[in-house]
Amino acid sequence: MRAQPKASHFIDGEYVEDDAGTLIESIYPATGEVIARLHAATPAIVDKAVASARRAQKQWAAMSPTARGRVLKRAADIMRDRNRALSELETLDTGKPIQETIVADPTSGADSFEFFGGIVATALNGSQIPLGGDWAYTKRVPLGVVAGIGAWNYPQQIACWKAAPALAAGNAMVFKPSETTPLGALKIAEILIEAGLPKGVFNVIQGDRDTGPLLVGHPDVAKVSLTGSVPTGRKVAGAAASQLKHVTMELGGKSPLIVFEDADIDGAISGAMLGNFYSTGQVCSNGTRVFVHRSRKETFLARLKDRTEAIVVGDPQDERTQMGPLVSFAQREKVLGYIDKGKAEGATLVTGGGIPNTVSGEGFYVQPTVFADVTDEMTIAREEIFGPVMCVLDFDTEEEAIARANATEFGLSAGVFTADISRAHRVVDQLEAGTLWINTYNLCPVEMPFGGSKQSGFGRENSAAALEHYTELKTVYVGMGKCEAPY
Ligand code: NAD
């Protein structure tokens, strides 16, 4: 086994196995080869992980924010020192090319630990409220044990984006990675211990859609932070609501990217390619509905076709490769199914549309694909594909573009390309989305809040705003005189 960890779970500072759990095979998407065998957490393992987190959280929350921050910053340094090895593991876990993982995955996780480690000492202050003679004060307190549940597209980044604000605020976390990409989070747990995190503050358990509910429903879990699809979000939010637990929901999207007639066309094509082909199209915030002003359609499509056909698809471990396979056989079947629907429903296939003949073997590859003449009713314009499939739609007026962009249940992201500064702000003001870009796309630095509206979720990750989602306010009224009553 090329990437076999010491055991499936990491609890209380050490690797733990329980062979009674369902077998999880970790498959390298570029070859179909099994690279590790793990087991889903049994109810006993879930209990063990939550109990350990509960014990550890008290000690962790009692440390000063500066001391907690120091641990997180140390973890960031270790992650940067090991960027190469962590990126290689991320490539094995996901099939994403090393060219990407080396700049986008562990580095983004390290940014998150560094950022929250840095701000926590000043970001958790409460307020003092004068009430005449009496007064009140507020404290921002941790919630307790938080469950983190991850998707498979950014396994290390998702683990860090959830752990960093949760831990900075004084919570403990039990993290369950996706069953498709179980490896990266275990390394994050090891690194945090090495950085000085008390045992049990960050535990990792493996599991699938049957394991997740055990964690969500556990009475000692105070909050659930999920990154996943909308249907899973509905289930998890529903289960959490039945016990009145806090939730953060980072869900799917079908985001619009609007290219106006005055846009820098090459820049807009770069944005559209980043927002459809990075990570083989497996990015939640992708701008998969590209609305191009009818007057620029021909130029846009001609240059886009040339640039798309020049993308180097192949072995993710080769530094020159720009696009790897999809994460799994099932995901490839799903994406190919959508491509067939696009053809059947009358969209024009500009390029791609199948399995590339330049790669050999059993990998889960799909060609970068562009459809033009896509209309709002087509399945490929309505449903999240989560693969390298760009839909180009035409429009004539600003009002029309905004109305059509908003005509979706999703609201994760949106983008606008235009040279007109007033138009840019006027349009983003009207687009119904949580995270928006002007003249660029998909950049998510840790300083900036990230998250969705409508069915794409609620709560925010990154930035100081994330700390609010991992704490609650405690209010204390201080009576300065004698307490009196009317009876
Ligand atoms: P998924 O919804 O199938 O699974 C997500 C996680 O939830 C997995 O760990 C899975 O085991 C777990 N799970 C499934 N059912 C559960 C249940 N009933 N209770 C508890 N846990 C359960 O998603 P996926 O296929 O792994 O990832 C792709 C999806 O994630 C896409 O829709 C994508 O848009 C979304 N995503 C969103 C963001 C964001 O930040 N908004 C980021 C990445 C991915």
Residue 359 pLDDT: 83
Is residue 412 lining ligand 1, measured as CB closer than 6 Å? yes
Query: Region 125-140: what's the mean pLDDT?
Result: 97
Residue 182 pLDDT: 98
Q: Of the residues 160, 284, 391, 444, which is catalytic?
A: 284
The model's pTM is 0.97
Verify whether residue 160 is a known catalytic residue.
no
Residue 360 pLDDT: 74
Structure tokens at 176: 């369950």
pLDDT grade for 347, boundaries at 50, 70 and 90:
very high
From 22, 96, 149, mutation site for ligand 1 pocket: most ligand atoms within 8 A of C-beta: 149
Is residue 152 lining ligand 1, measured as CB closer than 6 Å? yes
Residue 403 pLDDT: 98
Whether the predicted pLDDT of 167 surpasses 90:
yes
Q: What is the pLDDT of residues 441-487, one digit of tens each?
A: 999 999 999 999 999 999 999 999 999 999 999 999 999 999 999 99
Identify the residue whose tokens are 């709002």.
376
Burial class (CB in 10 A: 0-12, 13-18, 19+), 453: middle
Q: Of the residues 90, 114, 179, 250, which is catalytic?
A: 250
Is residue 342 lining ligand 1, measured as CB closer than 6 Å? no
Structure tokens at 194: 């090495």
Whether the predicted pLDDT of 363 surpasses 90:
yes
Is residue 95 lining ligand 1, measured as CB closer than 6 Å? no
Phi, psi of 448 (to 5 degrees): -105, 135
Distance 472 CA to ligand 1 centre (A): 26
Verify whether residue 483 is a known catalytic residue.
no
Closest atom, ligand 1, to C-alpha of 180 = 26
Q: What is the pLDDT of residues 251-305, one digit of tens each?
A: 999 999 999 999 999 999 999 999 999 999 999 999 999 999 999 999 999 999 9
Closest atom, ligand 1, to C-alpha of 230 = 32
Is residue 217 lining ligand 1, measured as CB closer than 6 Å? no
Say if CB 156 and CB 177 are below 8 A apart: no
pLDDT grade for 152, boundaries at 50, 70 and 90:
very high
pLDDT grade for 228, boundaries at 50, 70 and 90:
very high
Which candidate, 333, 339, 281, places its Cα nearest to that of 94? 281
Which residue's alpha carbon is nearest to atom 23 within ligand 1? 228
pLDDT grade for 4, boundaries at 50, 70 and 90:
very high
Whether the predicted pLDDT of 237 surpasses 90:
yes
Find the range with the poorest average confidence among 81-95, 236-250, 327-341, 351-365. Answer: 351-365
